[in-house]
Structure 1
């Protein structure tokens, strides 16, 4: 039986205001879960999931990257100048040219910025990953080309055109599947955070892994009622979250979080007191074979 490795690698990190990240929760609650500074800013990671099969290297997300100019990097509170994702791939014996698929939950800059080379003065960033198929939700890709005024700043200008011009863009909808070697990747379409976001259920021979996207950006958001101020349709997101959590419980699936600075992944169980699905076994790092 073929074995598949699941490794969480980290790209560039950010700082965001905790109140925005926990939109409907008071600070007296969310400060019990995450550490905040005097300005109530919290650490936001770019957790990217590297999946290595017998013949392919699949990357889920690329994080915020290092494409921003110094003034914009300060504005968006991105911490590092260098492209940390490329360094993390090197530590795995890979480069961006060795990635066969880049699967993007959605097109917001903090999930796709790592597709671009690091900022240099008087030079436009290049699109990296020259041999990869770029997989993204069809509806969210359309939105990236014509965003609503409310979330226009979340999309990178011209990136959708760069992806389209490669001839390697693959658009998916909810219920679609992608088979790679012994893996079956099933896409669940979530519209609560942003229309057309894809949550990836990765079925390997030895178990199931779910890359949550911004449905659950980190461990605290496994709590069913907790949503972000950035979510477009919060009640819809809670309903979608319940569907994924119920499925994770039934399949003993491992949830991988894109933004948690402390926790990379978790399994879930039914909490007998709260009467809903909650984290059980928690992983601060992830490097497993299934």
Structure 2
């Protein structure tokens, strides 16, 4: 497991499963001739996308950011459509670190699309139950409202089996939420309730752009997903936070990227210091 160790905070990438989605959908109006130079594509025009949660440990608190695609949640048709080649090993990853699900204090959800939220619940004896029963589950109030009443576009990605059984654990915020070294900031864009996450530890800063910048190939503010519900909001948020990140020399971290776990950008906007995913 790859780690990013700051002075008082440690980030560890866990195994949340693997999907392969259409490259055209992941890069929107950007021509394949351009995006395929920056991210590997297979013969079916699909790109590999990890769904790997990040365990953030600080001051004795266990924060889990996102929860992977789950295990046993997807049927064969869904696995085929979403190009799933490996389901989640999230609990096994935690076990390797000596952590049981009951020891997760917070689950931080940047948004609750199925590929981020399937790991919140599991089926036991035919019924769904919370995987992290003692955790406070944090997401924006806008996101929580939509997952419970999705519209005609979002109903395919907001699944009731991912939220009904954990509704009593959910705590929502308006605009911004903070705890310890962590802030969540509502940005909109990818979904109306989408948020990013910021970790500040002495002189180090981490920004997790979530699905505003799902891979290193999405650094250009104009390269937004066809999946984005509000692309102009995505562009505005990317411009703001990419500029901030470059100026402050922050670490950018990733949930979906198949190549990088984290990197910093130099003053020319090129990838500098980095942590690559170990194959």
Normalised by the size of structure 2, how large is the TM-score?
0.90
State the aligned residue count: 272
Is the contact between residue 121 and residue 166 of structure 2 (CA under 8 Å) also seen in structure 1? no
Corresponding position of 2:191: 194
Tell me the distance in 2 between the aligned counterparts of 1:270 and 1:160. 42
Note the 1:15-94 alignment, pairs <5 A.
15-66=20-71, 67-81=73-87, 83-94=88-99
The reply to whether residue 251 of structure 1 matches residue 248 of structure 2 is yes
Pick from 239, 255, 274 the counterpart of residue 242 of structure 1: 239
For residues 50-89 of structure 1, give each alpha carbon's deviation from its aligned partner in whole angstroms, at most 9, with x where no partner exists.
11123211111112122223343333322224x3111111
Is the contact between residue 118 and residue 162 of structure 2 (CA under 8 Å) also seen in structure 1? no
SS in 2 for 1:10: coil
Corresponding position of 1:274: none
The reply to whether residue 261 of structure 1 matches residue 258 of structure 2 is yes
SS in 1 for 2:266: strand
SS in 2 for 1:87: helix
The reply to whether residue 225 of structure 1 matches residue 222 of structure 2 is yes
Tell me the distance in 1 between the aligned counterparts of 2:11 and 2:104. 14
Is the contact between residue 47 and residue 264 of structure 1 (CA under 8 Å) also seen in structure 2? no
Note the 1:98-117 alignment, pairs <5 A.
98-117=103-122
CA RMSD between the two structures:
2.0
Is the contact between residue 223 and residue 278 of structure 1 (CA under 8 Å) also seen in structure 2? no
Unaligned runs of 5+ in 2: 1-5
The reply to whether residue 284 of structure 1 matches residue 276 of structure 2 is yes
Unaligned runs of 5+ in 1: 272-276
Q: CA deviation at 1:11?
A: 0.8
Tell me the distance in 2 between the aligned counterparts of 1:252 and 1:47. 24
Q: Which stretches of structure 1, 4 residues or longer, exceed 6 Å deviation after superposition?
A: none
Normalised by the size of structure 1, how large is the TM-score?
0.87
**Judging changes above 3 Å, is the alpha-carbon distance between structure 1 residues 2 and 252 closer, same or farther for their aligned structure 2 residues?**
closer
